[in-house]
Amino acid sequence: MRWESVGETTCSVARALSVVGERWTMLILREAFLGRRRFDEFQARTGVARNILSARLRALVRNGIFERIENAPPGDHVQYWLTAKGLDLYPILVAMLRWGDKWMACEGGPPVELVHRECGYKTRPTLVCSHCGSKIDARTTTPVIRAIPAQRRGGASKARTRLNPPRRSE
Which residues contact DNA by CB under 7 A? 1-4, 22-24, 38-41, 47-52, 54-55, 57-58, 68, 75-79, 159
Beta bridge partners of 80: 68
Residues 131-160 close enough to bind its own copies by CB under 8 A: 131-134, 136-147, 149, 152-153, 155
Q: Give me the DSSP letters along 2-13.
A: -GGGGGGSS-HH
Q: Is 129 helix (H, G, I), strand (E, B) or coil?
A: coil
C-alpha distances (whole Å) from 24 to each of 29, 137, 150 are 9, 27, 30
Q: How far is the CB of 138 from DNA (least distance, A)?
A: 22
Q: How far is the CB of 76 from its own copies (least distance, A)?
A: 15
Do you find a cis peptide bond into 74, omega within 30 degrees of 0? yes
Which residue of 70, 76, 158, 166 would you call a contact of its own copies, by CB under 8 A? 166
Q: Which of residues 96-125 bind its own copies (CB under 8 A)?
A: 96-106, 108-119, 121-125
Q: What are the phi and psi torsion angles at 61 (to 5°)?
A: -65, -45
- Residue 155 carries which side chain, given as an amino acid letter? G
Please tell me whether residue 59 binds its own copies under the rule CB under 8 A. no
Instruction: Answer whether 40's CB lies under 8 Å from 116's CB.
Output: no
Least gap, CB of 104 to its own copies (angstroms)? 4
Please, what is the minimum distance in Å from the beta carbon of residue 137 to DNA? 26
CB nearer DNA, residue 22 or residue 101: 22
